[in-house]
Structure 1
Amino acid sequence: MWKIAIVDDERQVLQGMKRAIPWDKLEAEWVGEALNGEDGLEMIRSARPDIVITDIYMPVMNGLEMMEQLRKEGYRGKIIILSGYSDFEHARQALRLQVSDYVSKPISLPTLTTILNNVIRELTEEEGERKKQGELEFKISLYEPFVKKEWIRSAAIGTLDHTYKDSIHLPPSYRYWLGRKHMTVGIDLLRNERAGCLSVSDWNLFRFAVSNIACEVARKLFPDIEYTELHSTRALLIIHPQEEEGERLEKRLEELGIRLADSIGSYLKLAARIGIGGLKEAWTEISDSTEEAFRAIDRGAARIASAYEVYLYREDQGGEQESVALFPVKLSYRLASAMKSSQEAEAHQLVQEYMTALKQRTGISPVHVQMLASELWGIIAYALYESGMVLEELFTHDQIAKEISALVLPDQLANWLKDKITKICGSKQWKGSSKHRQVVDFMTGYIHEHYAEDLTLAELSDKVYISRNHLSIIFKNITGETFNTYLTRVRIEKARELLLERNMLVYEVAERVGYRNIPYFSTLFKKITGMNPTELIR
């Protein structure tokens, strides 16, 4: 119901309008009246009407003074002036005060009804816009963590658009970067026998566990850190040391590397190699430190912990031979993304760009060509594995190993890789599942947007016009997880982020991500993360 108040010093006018206005037809109600501007001001403050009908000439405080005070106080309702005088100066002031209409007494009932209908229609439209804006802001709040994650990853690997590489475009939560130095710690999980046995679903859970371990370990030594996942088996910590440098910083970094490798090995039974990049003055150089961190791993030099594979990058290590063995992190990520989305032309271009740079170097040995081939194939194979495509069905492991061992020159590697990309993107297995993949992409996007709601597979099946059972099979085939498992993982990941912010209690976080049963939420949280939610807010 729309609320309407009337302010007029003629009691007869007040009573007449109260009786004459078709309240039910307008879906409106009378909420108050006053005989002067001063009383009207108090009444409007109390009743907060959507529409005020007021005279101008009144004792104590006139209508214009009352309206001006209301606008100063932030009143945003509609105001209709009903005056016995037509005055240009009053009309001008009324426009300045955003009056909806200015009419002269006497006024007929049909005219008043028409004016009220028009004003109510405006209110309805504005309410609809506010609702849309509220929904948009809510959606943005849901997407914000994912946007932040992508921004961090782009800054870390160097894919951030150049127009955003200045202090103005730094997200508010990262403004502290401007007063710090920066360096990265690369985490590379080895593709050993245990890792090779993991399904996509299991591997995603393991990577989630790695992120928890890495953040917990790093924050004990460096309070201000960010974590981001890269392609396949690689992840990255971004550290922002205080003014400390030199030997003390190097010791803490060595300790961090050892703790990371030890914790990942102890809790997850996975082997990890740790690389530490160089210290950078500006946040725009973080991607350089990222390349250095993984170059240190690939070189295998400057090992700083005898019992663990922890490597520190030094500029004076190695020569050209070692530097060309590494496929840059930026190109690795872009290649993995291109293959996941079946962008054949982009994948070819990325390979060509790198091969062109590679051929400009001299003395590239067959061993380094083969090392690079293995790295590139691993990136492609794992990227597609994450998307539900197993390359063993197109190329056997023995076949790939044999072909790689025959590669001697960079040109041979380029031609071999282009041939494989073309065959993969043109395969029936990939093309046949492209429509299903689009469906699953919609579903996962919808889950990330509406995870806090009571989502069901049946609801989504209605949206994509596929039966519930068939949709369940498609989702499992593409993601390696059931719909409920995926939804639970998204909710728990969001809950972990909220808990780490330490602004909410556990039950508030549980409700925010869609759980009303707090004990059930705590059980799920511990099952997935390995810890109780209360441990994160201490």
Structure 2
Amino acid sequence: MYKVLLVDDEYMITEGLKVLIPFEKWKMEVVQTANDAEAALEYIKNHSVDLVITDVNMPGMNGLEMIAQMKASLPRAAFIILSGYQEFDYVKTALNLQVADYLVKPVNKLELAALLEKLSKNFEQSSDQQLERVFQDESEEEDIASLLEGKERLWLGADVVPKGFSSAPYRVLDRTLYLFLSSQRGGAVYQEEFAAPYKKQLQSFKVNLEKSLFYGTVSLQETDPLFSYYEPVYRVIIQGNIAQILEELDLLEDIVLRSTPKVSITKQLFIQFIMDVYHLFEHLKPEDITAIIREIDGMNSFDSLLVYIKLQLSGLFDQYRMNENVASVLEVIGRDYQKELSLKDISQELYINSVYLGQLIKRETNSTFAELLNKQRIKAAQQLLLSTNDSIEDVCYAVGYSNVGYFYKVFRKLCGKSPKAYRRQMD
């Protein structure tokens, strides 16, 4: 309800307006009456109002002087002036103060009703425009709470067209949708009940909206970090068993759909998956890697992502089988990367010359044994950085490095950024 303050030194005027004018028809409520300007100014020190209806001629401070002072405290309020006679100087001053209207007593009920109808629409429009600030990142929690004060049950939604009593465009997954506030549920691409803390829920809503568009569903249950599932998947990949790799892809699909993590996390996971397979089965050029990452980053749905991954794997598996000795080396690296590993020790276990084994590894993977070990350790470090709050030093030691400085050097070389920067990118 819009709040109305009546000010007139004649008691019968204020009481008569309260009785004769159906303010509630225009969503208005008389919250206070005052018999002089001083009392009215005292009231607004602690109370906000939307409309002030006041007489001009009152003992002490007149209505125009009162309005001039009220403007500082009530910058968005509307003012209606009542007067027993129409005098040019009063009208001129009223116009300068930008009052809504100047009415001559006795007040014409129809004239006042038309004016209140107009003001009610202006209030509603102004209120809706103010509510757009809810969607702005710079708005503080207190500001949002103030804007929504008096609003009962609210729904925050997104749709292809503006809806509700306030809306704002929002870009997500290369689409423009409209975030909106409504007092009713339904008729939206995605919708949630909106309650404090508002800023936190708005951020959560944006994440869930993206999930809804990408996966077609949203899981609101807390789940284990997605990358915690990847270690056993990688062990299957390095064995080079094509059938098992495809089975692991189906397992990842099921896990992702049950947990619906942030879209950026899922894309990062599948980039890692496809890159791991490619590194094992063919020589990748830098431009190939860039193209794969760009393709996956541009995916707007989980289904299209899976189709792309499966097509890539199908084309790759049709033309390549890995040397079993190289596969054995990769299996050892994947299983024991935290330990001290050497090509010489592994070659002895496989009963093969270490130089020849090194040549096989280089030919099959386009990497040396040391490079493969570093890649696996850094891969494991990436998972820990994204799925735990462990310190950088703890991550370094956990993946098999004993020198933090060397770990930073290798990580930056392979990832293009420091461990700290890599962790921050997923916030």
TM-score (structure 1 length as normaliser) = 0.34
Structure with more helix by fraction: 1
User: Highest CA radius of gyration, 1 or 2?
Assistant: 2
